[in-house]
Chain A
Amino acid sequence: MNPNAYFRQFFTRNGTALGTFLLLSVGFWMFIMILLPQAFMIDFSFRHNLPPAEIGGPQDTYTTEHYEFMVYGSAAAEGEFNTVDLGVFVRTLIAAFFVTLFDLAICYPIAYYLAHSASGGWARLMVLSLIVPFWVNEILRAFAFRIMFGSAGVINGFLMWLGVIDQPYDFIRENVALYAGLGYAFILLMIFPLYNAIESLDRNQIEAARDMGASWIRIHRRIVIPFAKPGISSGCTMVFMLSAGALAAPQILGGPSSLWFTQIIYQWFQTGNNWNRGSAYALILLASTIVFVLVMMKVFKVKLGEIAR
């Protein structure tokens, strides 16, 4: 169908007013809010960091210096890798991966319990109480962990009272607080996809398997987990991406000697005053998350629509 006929049909279907509203809103969203800003950011990341007066001038040429900086550091340190930034980048991804695993490990039993073992009213109360912490501001959640894990916090107090340790342990410095806080922040995004997937599993399938003498482990491995695959991939993707892209929790809970990749991006913008380099770093983060999503789609054989729900 040629575009002209398509538009004519579109407008007869929706009427002029609604048709215009649909086209304008979706157009504004797709182009002005999503595509063009991303395109401009890509363009921006390939330009020199210039004072406003020189932008658009002869100095304003394309360059890959910001990407090179991420890998090699400054030109002065020839041949050396930028171990600081690369290290932070890799550590962020690895840490996010383990936060994801942690969430999956604690959420899977709970999701299964909610979906198949808890009775009606009780399950509903639990689902509701899962939502409550999620609507508390993420800064406040991080703050709560800072209080808990602080040297005068409840955990240190409890451990000292037990006599396990005789002086406060620095959970903040060791990033324990950060990982616990990150895991906490995204529990809901893991548990709901899992819960929805497991809940739709026909209970008879489990009973049939048990009837045939399958062990619990086998039932989960052969029946529940394959069935819940879309939920697992969706939950893992969301938790990984949000952990890797988190900023507030690392700022508040992160140990003083370890940075999160987003914090580096933040510093290029706020204190480093090099937006171009910040954009380049942001793009690297974006690219790595896109790769992660593609890998998840491939490994779990799910569609994008099943992940983002």
Chain B
Amino acid sequence: MNSNTISRVFIMGFVLAFFAYLFGPLIIMSITAFNSSAFPRVMPWECFSIEWFDVLIQDDKLMLGLRNSLIIGAGVVLLAVPIGLAGALMLTQVSARLRPWYYTIVISPILIPGVVLGISTLVFWDRVGRMFNTGYESIFYDGIFLTILGQATFISAYSMLVFISRLQRFDPALEEAALDLGATNVQAFRKVLLPFLKPAMGSAAVLAFLASFENYNTTVFTIISESTLTTVLASKVRYGINPSISALAVIIVALTLVGAVFFEIAKRREDRAAKAAAQVAAGGRAQAARTYFAEPALMLFVLIFCAGLGTVYFAGTLGLDECKVAVKEEKKRRAAARIKERETLQMFQRAKPGQETGTGAVPPPQTGEAAKGTEGYQGIFAPGNLEGQVESDTGGEPAKGTEGYQNIFAPDNLEGQVGGDQEQKSTGQ
């Protein structure tokens, strides 16, 4: 084996590790959506289930957030695409002396932290609202209105960049040719430049919508009392996690994948058409017939997708109940065994009081009071507690008896605790 092979193996290993880092989390999250366990996890595997998709669809808060996200996304597209277009066109017309200033101002929203944009929008319209002496029900305090404005501030800059890069490929001779042929300036713009920019409008719109849809930093300040999909998700994730969120992730990942595949196919087709055209222009024989040849990759993809969906559906509905019962039995049995073991352990300890208590695996917390007393603050964050708590939620009845302090371990308490610290500090000082 020579050094070339070694370095090649090393490079491939690095690339593989990189893509594992990129996709691993998404794949694992997606798998957890199909585990009937109430805590999103892969191990231990309980039952294959699609019930979390039902939970997701029946979540009214999430659906309301989704609706608002769609409205905001549409609003942002309608605002940011024309502004981005105007911004890019203006850049070509502004005098050379002013151009650096102008560019700095309009590009700055990309570099300003999203949090700051959200706050400044909120503060500004609060002031405007007060200036007009309007109440809190007015548009200046409307979360959706403010969020559209706040997001469009920087998304307009994104769409401007899309237009600028397209404009850079525009041959100014085309506009001159139109003028030379008698077109007015407006006609030259409408008939030559605008059609050229049309594909950029499409990509700017898609980009704007996606950026709006997934935005959190700005939205969380401007949304006030309303909610969007991301803010609902964020509070769900912060205050307790369950696999219905994984189910949502599965849907989004699937949509993204489908979008990516279609994008790639469209691009390949375009490339091929361009290549065929170049061939014709070069005087070669045209082989354009293959342009509309059905994509084997696409067919395969659709087939796998449908098959997967079918399997998931049947496997998820058939035998789910039996499986659940079995798992519950198993849990009960294990919990009983654990209690028994603990009792023997305690008996053992009582018999040998001098022995260290902490031998073996971390002893599962004993009674609620005892745990609080002995482990105090640290115990709250002890690994495993989070999981234990969720397990008890699902109706692992045996666990409930022993873990009476479950609320302490609820993830929202972590937040609450932190928030509380902060509040104490601010009020106490």
Contact B25 A130 (CB under 8 A): no
Contacts of A33 in B (CB 8 A): 109, 121, 149, 152-153, 156
Q: Is B43's CB within 8 Å of the partner chain A?
A: yes
Measured in the bound complex, the distance between the Cα atoms of B65 and A117 in whole Å is 44
**Interface of chain A: mostly helix, strand, loop or mixed:** helix
Contacts of A197 in B (CB 8 A): none
Indicate the size class of the contact surface on chain B.
35 or more
Question: Nearest CB to that of B149 among chain A residues?
Answer: A33
Contacts of A248 in B (CB 8 A): 216-217, 230, 234
| Closest chain B CB from A195 CB (angstroms) | 13
Contact A144 B104 (CB under 8 A): no
Contact B260 A146 (CB under 8 A): no
Q: Is B83's CB within 8 Å of the partner chain A?
A: yes
Mask of B214-227 contacts with A, CB within 8 angstroms, 1/0:
10110011000000
Measured in the bound complex, the distance between the Cα atoms of B210 and A28 in whole Å is 23
Q: Is B170's CB within 8 Å of the partner chain A?
A: no
Measured in the bound complex, the distance between the Cα atoms of B89 and A25 in whole Å is 11
Q: Is A81's CB within 8 Å of the partner chain B?
A: no
Measured in the bound complex, the distance between the Cα atoms of B386 and A170 in whole Å is 11
Given A151-B384, A247-B220, A285-B113, also A144-B26 (CB < 8 A): yes
Measured in the bound complex, the distance between the Cα atoms of B25 and A58 in whole Å is 56
Question: Nearest CB to that of B187 among chain A residues?
Answer: A15
Given A84-B425, A167-B362, A248-B234, also A143-B29 (CB < 8 A): yes
Contacts of A59 in B (CB 8 A): none
Contacts of A274 in B (CB 8 A): 426
Contact A144 B29 (CB under 8 A): yes
Given A247-B216, A308-B107, also A37-B123 (CB < 8 A): yes
Q: Is A29's CB within 8 Å of the partner chain B?
A: yes
Contacts of A283 in B (CB 8 A): 116
Q: Is A77's CB within 8 Å of the partner chain B?
A: yes
| Closest chain B CB from A90 CB (angstroms) | 17
Given A245-B114, A256-B381, also A110-B15 (CB < 8 A): yes
Measured in the bound complex, the distance between the Cα atoms of B7 and A109 in whole Å is 13
Contacts of B89 in A (CB 8 A): 22
Mask of A115-155 contacts with B, CB within 8 angstroms, 1/0:
00100000010101111110111111111111110111110
Residues 9-57 of A at the B interface (beta carbon under 8 Å): 10, 12-15, 17-18, 21-22, 25-26, 28-30, 33-38, 40-41, 44, 52, 55-56
Measured in the bound complex, the distance between the Cα atoms of B238 and A168 in whole Å is 21
Given A136-B249, A247-B115, A272-B423, also A144-B25 (CB < 8 A): yes
Residues 247-267 of A at the B interface (beta carbon under 8 Å): 247-248, 251-252, 256-257, 259, 262-267
Contact B29 A40 (CB under 8 A): no
Measured in the bound complex, the distance between the Cα atoms of B231 and A247 in whole Å is 12
**Interface of chain B: mostly helix, strand, loop or mixed:** helix
Given contacts A144-B26, A146-B241, A308-B157, 13 further A-B contacts (CB under 8 A): A29-B86, A30-B105, A37-B117, A106-B21, A117-B11, A135-B210, A137-B249, A139-B234, A144-B29, A169-B383, A184-B25, A267-B426, A275-B122
Q: What are 8 A-to-B residue pairs whose CB atoms are below 8 Å?
A: A41-B116, A129-B260, A143-B246, A144-B249, A154-B28, A247-B216, A285-B113, A293-B111
Please give the residue numbers on chain B whose beta carbons come within 8 Å of chain A beta carbons, in ascending order.
11, 14-15, 18-19, 21-26, 28-29, 32, 39-43, 82-83, 85-87, 89-90, 93, 95, 103-117, 119-124, 126-127, 130, 149, 152-153, 156-157, 161, 184-186, 189, 210, 213-214, 216-217, 220-221, 229-230, 233-234, 237-238, 241, 245-246, 248-249, 252-253, 256-257, 259-260, 263-264, 361-362, 381-387, 414-415, 417-419, 422-423, 425-426, 429
Please give the residue numbers on chain A whose beta carbons come within 8 Å of chain B beta carbons, in ascending order.
1, 6, 10, 12-15, 17-18, 21-22, 25-26, 28-30, 33-38, 40-41, 44, 52, 55-56, 73-74, 76-77, 84, 106, 109-110, 113, 117, 124, 126, 128-133, 135-148, 150-154, 156-157, 166-170, 173, 184, 187, 237, 241-242, 244-248, 251-252, 256-257, 259, 262-269, 271-272, 274-275, 278-279, 282-283, 285-286, 289-290, 293, 304-305, 307-309
